[in-house]
Structure 1
Amino acid sequence: MKIIVASMLKSGTQTIRNCLEILGYTVVDYDYHAFVDRDEWKKIMMYGSEKGQFYKMYKDIDAVCGSPAYHYWKEIVAEFPDAKVILTTRDEEEWLKSYENYFARMHSSWTDAVTHNFTPTGRKVQHHFREIGRLIFSCPQQRMFKRMVQPNRQLMKRRYREHVADVLANCEREKFLHLTFSDGWEPLCSFLGKDIPNQPFPHENQKGSLAVSKWQSDTFGALKTELNYIIAIILVITCFCVQFLIF
């Protein structure tokens, strides 16, 4: 583990992930946490992390970002004391609007609704994300087939301020970069000791586009494959029943 991105969701995490991948790092994000390390995160969110647990999870990874890893940045640093920490921030009102827009687009997606409720993996992933909401934003426990309830705006902004203040106050200065995207490649590459790439600085997930584009990824595409199998089984059973009734 070389890099820990301590940025909250909707603070440019997709942009920094893309930057790090361009620079040659292997990065795990929220989708990896939800699909690959979901069982480990379930134990961590319920009971806390154990010594050596994060080392075992990330010893072969270059960088980690996304929910819920950023919430445990201190614990991960303790397992990887030589790792560098990157924080990206934005105006809290802009952050909140972006967060709300992201979840509004998710809730308006029939693909999300169907796959998260009618596939075995989808239900587990939805439970994972709801546990994150409970842990970080004190979202109430909810039943399946119900839309995720967001916490009140005051609480969300407070949690955002608290997290940013915690990172700024407690991270070792020599291993820390408070990155501003408008500065482009130079501060990031200088901090990591990398040459500046011969391509424009990226900007990902504008206006919550991740809520739609995520279905193009192999990770979330697995849910669509699972759903297709279920639909095929239902169609076969339906055809069999129709033929039985006719004949």
Structure 2
Amino acid sequence: MSLKVALDKLGYKTYHMIEIIEHNSHHLDLWIELAELHSQGKPYKHVIHTIFENYTAAVDFPAAAWWKEILETFPNSKVILSTRDPERWYNSAKETIFQALWHHRILGLFVPLSRKFTVMVPSLWDKVLGK
């Protein structure tokens, strides 16, 4: 969150997973559509344009999984590569993202929004891990 806060203070409107949760739940459908189109080799840049139409920066997931495609879509963009100790990153992800996914799997039995998260998040991991 620190990079998002810093970019926002510099005047950017920064996209982060929290945006999906708090304001743009319809973006879940767009990220799922992006993954499907990309995996099928179909044009997908229009989806990226739609996702980021009101934003001037992006950090963290889900954007981080799609940085190459975002840079291809917006070739004048700048990329900040932040690095982190892999074990510390995994422990953080385990306590946040993985826990949230577990809760969404349970809630997904009753709540459509949670069901969409259980579709989107694994597609991100597959992309990041090359599966």
TM-score between both structures, scaled by the size of structure 2: 0.72
Moved more, 98-107 or 127-136: 98-107
Q: Distance in 2 between matches of 1:120 and 1:53?
A: 21
What's the offset of the Cα at 1:98? Answer: 2.1
| One-letter amino acid matched to 1:26 | K
- AA at the equivalent of 2:6: C
1:38 aligns with 2:28: yes
In structure 2, relative to structure 1, the CA distance for the partners of 1:107 and 1:60 (3 Å cut) is closer
Say whether 1:136 aligns with 2:128: yes
- The 8 Å contact of residues 115 and 122 in structure 1, kept in 2 or not, is answered as yes
Q: How far off is 1:45 after superposition?
A: 0.9
Query: 1:89 deviation in Å?
Result: 0.9
Partner Cα distance (1:105, 1:46) in 2: 25
Q: 2:4 aligns with which of 17, 20, 38?
A: 17
Post-superposition shift, 1:62? 1.1
Unaligned runs of 5+ in 2: none
Shift of 1:113: 6.2
The match for 2:117 is 125
What are the within-5 Å matches in structure 2 for residues 1-247 of structure 1?
14-33=1-20, 35-48=25-38, 49-103=43-97, 105-106=99-100, 115-137=107-129
Give the SS at the match of 2:75. Answer: coil
Mapped to 2, the partners of 1:18 and 1:103 lie a distance apart of: 19
TM-score by length of 1: 0.42
CA distance in 1 between partners of 2:65 and 2:117 (Å): 18
Q: Could you tell me how far apart the structure 2 residues matched to 1:75 and 1:113 are?
A: 28
Give distance in 2, aligned partners of 1:107 and 1:57: 22
Q: Rg larger in 1 or in 2?
A: 1
Equivalent residue, structure 2, for 1:215: none
Identity %: 24
- Residue type at the aligned position of 1:119: V
CA shift for structure 1 position 138: 6.6
Q: Return 5+ residue gaps in structure 1 as ranges.
A: 1-13, 140-247
Partners of 1:38 and 1:101 in 2: how far apart? 22
- The offset of 1:128, in angstroms, is 1.9
Deviation at 1:57, TM superposition (A): 2.8
- Give the C-alpha shift of residue 107 in structure 1: 7.1
Deviations along 1:191-213, one digit per CA (max 9) or x if unpaired, are xxxxxxxxxxxxxxxxxxxxxxx
Q: 1:29 touches 1:65 (CA, 8 Å); kept in 2?
A: yes
For residue 26 of structure 1, report the CA deviation from its aligned partner. Answer: 1.0
* Contact 1:30–1:67 (CA under 8 A) maintained in structure 2: yes
